[in-house]
């Protein structure tokens, strides 16, 4: 994980010495992600101490139900936010894709760290090593916890069957290797990378095959929105490119009123001052879909100017040290693309998907 160039400048303004308590989920991946963020903060603020407090969340406890069926928007964040609210922790490190696009007013995402690969990865049962999804036998069962992946891939690989698989990464890999139920499972490439399991990846799914989840591959640091000291502390972790891409993605999802109970997916590219956002919605079986791309001009390097909009939250994110104009352009791109899809009938596709998901 890296920090934007201005980060080192923060050291001279280190807050007074104190212990910063960092909340995290208990899973091995969550701990690795949290440790990576804390390591950067320790380098930036050698005078501070950091204490990591791990806890279980609702999503960690309910393992026999598909995520899309549980109907709780903050499955992996609620208990951590409760600890933030009670002042038991000062900041929480999350996978950004777990954070809802609307946060409770008391909280904000104070940092969006540099994104790792946002793509999905396929891991095959040992007997199918060297294969890809296209060459798996007819009726092979592929495990995924995501309606988004299943909807897109069912359309592309109609000979496969997709089935929900839950549990942390270790549990899912064990289910794949030790049971004969799944021929392959699909996981976020970034998580596998952070766990050091890249060698298990048999196929990467690029955007032509499968658009990814909003915020996938990025880490978000959630803090109390009124805690000025901690906001300043973590603000240096913002990666401008990741931040702007994720603001566009989250604005798209928020305006569509999507969540994990409907298949919504994105792909963003920031190149030569242009931010490109591709977004799509699918029916549960992938047979009905809408996908469009829009772009906007964005000046990532524009100087930030202090002003009345300094504390504006955009889709739950506060970034005072990044140009407000660039942030606004990214947010508007997400809203405009969502409106385009809504005008083409996205609401009907999503409503039907939501109803069918609730009914099953």
Catalytic residues: 98
Neighbours of 343 (CB within 10 A): 10
Residue ranges of the alpha helices (H) in 45-197? 58-61, 67-70, 78-85, 147-156, 169-178, 189-195
CA 33 to chain centre: 13
Structure token pair of residue 330: 């990214």
Cα–Cα nearest to 231, from 119, 310, 141, 152: 310
- Residue 275 DSSP SS3: strand
Q: Give phi and psi for 139, each to the nearest 5.
A: 65, 15
Q: Give phi and psi for 121, each to the nearest 5.
A: -130, 145
Neighbours of 143 (CB within 10 A): 21
- Proportion of the chain in helix, strand, coil states, percent, rounded to 5: 40, 20, 40
From the number of C-beta atoms within 10 Å of its C-beta (0-12, 13-18, 19+), residue 291 rates as middle
CB 29 within 8 A of CB 191: yes
Write the DSSP symbol of residue 87: T
The C-alpha angle 56, 197, 133, rounded to 5 degrees, equals 105
- Residue 145 DSSP SS3: coil
Q: Give phi and psi for 301, each to the nearest 5.
A: -90, 5
Alpha-carbon torsion, ordered 81, 82, 84, 88, to 10 deg: -140
What are residue 123's DSSP bridge partners?
185
Cα–Cα nearest to 168, from 67, 307, 314, 315: 67
Going by their DSSP bridges, the two strands 91-95 and 219-224 should be labelled as: antiparallel
């Amino acid at each position: 994980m890296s920090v934007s160039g201005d980060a080192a400048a923060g050291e001279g303004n280190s807050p007074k010495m104190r212990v910063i308590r960092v909340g995290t989920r208990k899973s091995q991946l969550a701990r690795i992600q949290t440790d990576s963020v804390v390591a950067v903060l320790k380098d930036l603020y050698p005078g501070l101490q950091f204490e990591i407090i791990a806890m279980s969340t609702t999503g960690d406890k309910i393992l026999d139900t598909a995520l899309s069926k549980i109907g709780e928007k903050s499955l992996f964040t609620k208990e951590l936010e409760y600890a933030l609210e009670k002042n038991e922790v000062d900041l929480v490190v999350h996978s950004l894709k777990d954070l809802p696009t609307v946060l409770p007013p008391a909280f904000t995402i104070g940092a969006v760290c540099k994104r790792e690969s946002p793509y999905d990865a396929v891991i095959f049962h040992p007997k199918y090593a060297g294969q890809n999804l296209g060459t798996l036998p007819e009726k092979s069962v592929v495990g995924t916890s995501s309606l988004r992946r299943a909807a897109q891939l069912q359309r592309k690989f109609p000979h496969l069957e997709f089935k929900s698989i839950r549990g942390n990464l270790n549990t899912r890999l064990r289910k794949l290797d030790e049971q004969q139920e799944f021929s392959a499972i699909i996981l976020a490439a970034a998580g596998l990378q952070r766990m050091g399991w890249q060698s298990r990846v048999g196929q990467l799914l690029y955007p032509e095959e499968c658009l990814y989840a909003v915020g996938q591959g990025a880490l978000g640091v959630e803090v109390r929105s009124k805690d000025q000291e901690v906001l300043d502390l973590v603000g240096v972790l913002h990666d401008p490119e990741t931040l702007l891409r994720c603001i566009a993605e989250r604005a798209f999802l928020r305006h569509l009123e999507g969540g994990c109970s409907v298949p919504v997916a994105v792909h963003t590219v920031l190149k030569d001052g242009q931010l490109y956002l591709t977004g799509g919605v699918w029916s549960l079986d992938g047979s009905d879909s809408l996908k469009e791309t829009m772009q906007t001009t964005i000046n990532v390097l524009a100087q930030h100017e202090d002003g009345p909009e300094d504390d504006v939250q955009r889709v739950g994110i506060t970034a005072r040290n990044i140009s407000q104009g660039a942030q606004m352009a990214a947010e508007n791109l997400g809203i405009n693309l969502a409106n385009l899809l809504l005008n083409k009938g996205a609401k009907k596709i999503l409503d039907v998907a939501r109803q069918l998901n609730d009914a099953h």
